[in-house]
Amino acid sequence: MGKSTLILIALAALGLGTLVGVSLVDDPAETEGAASPELAVAASSGGAPVFRFLTPDGITLARDEFGQPLPFGNGENFIAREGEFKTKRIAVSLDSDTSVEYKALMRQGDAIAFRWSVDGGQVYYDFHGHDDAFGPDFFTRYDEGEGTERSGTVMAAYSGQHGWYWLNIEVEPVTITLDVAGFYDELVEIDPGTD
């Protein structure tokens, strides 16, 4: 079982499907080769995401009246976006024992891919998201640790701020370079006193 499959199962167990309003673990056998029209509309119109990971042994293709194969799933794993696809690079220097935080302001269903790297040593990092609509104590932690680089993707399960906090744990200054690409409203530096 792949890492992405394990993550999907864990998210489903934690109730993320309830949070975004859809089941994230539909049984392929129940759909008989195609997503329901409601799921296809939600996904292709930019509504709550519908995701399904496939394996060759879990597929049974449906055929039309002429024996031609029908598509397996309509609109799944696709979310149309009318907003601008953006790319941005940020470089920031941090003295010893200082921190910085950048957040992508995203709408539910927006997705970004990112890569950050550190020149000069390691940092503590915390990749997380939150929105005041859920209350002051609510947040989602995507990733946390110490290191010199990280890359990945995230799809916003809710509208709000999704981003990175870095703390320089070295005795010398470091420079962090962040590259972000995808759908988001803007990328902002967060004042440590307001997060």
**Whether residues 47 and 134 fall in one domain:** no
Q: 46 with 138, same domain? A: no
Q: State how many domains the chain has.
A: 2
Return the minimum-mean-pLDDT range out of 48-52, 118-122, 126-130, 169-173.
48-52
Instruction: For residues 181-190, give the mean pLDDT.
Output: 96
| 139 and 47 co-located in one domain | no
CA 88 vs CA 27, 84, 95, 116: distances in Å: 38, 12, 23, 12
> What Cα–Cα distance (Å) separates residue 136 from each residue in 8, 130, 132, 144?
26, 9, 6, 20
* pLDDT tens per residue, range 85-94: 999 999 999 9
Element (H, E) at 111: strand 111-119
State the Cα–Cα distance between residues 181 and 116, nearest whole angstrom: 12
pTM of structure = 0.70
Last residue of one domain, picked from the residues 22, 40, 58: 58
> Of residues 41 and 140, which shows the higher confidence score?
140
**pLDDT score, position 193:** 54
* 50 — pLDDT class (breaks 50, 70, 90): low
pLDDT digits (tens, 9 = 90+) for 56-73: 887 888 999 999 998 887
* Separation between Cα atoms, residue 84 and residue 91, nearest integer Å: 22
Helices (H), 14-150: 16-20, 28-31, 37-44
Within a domain: 71:
no
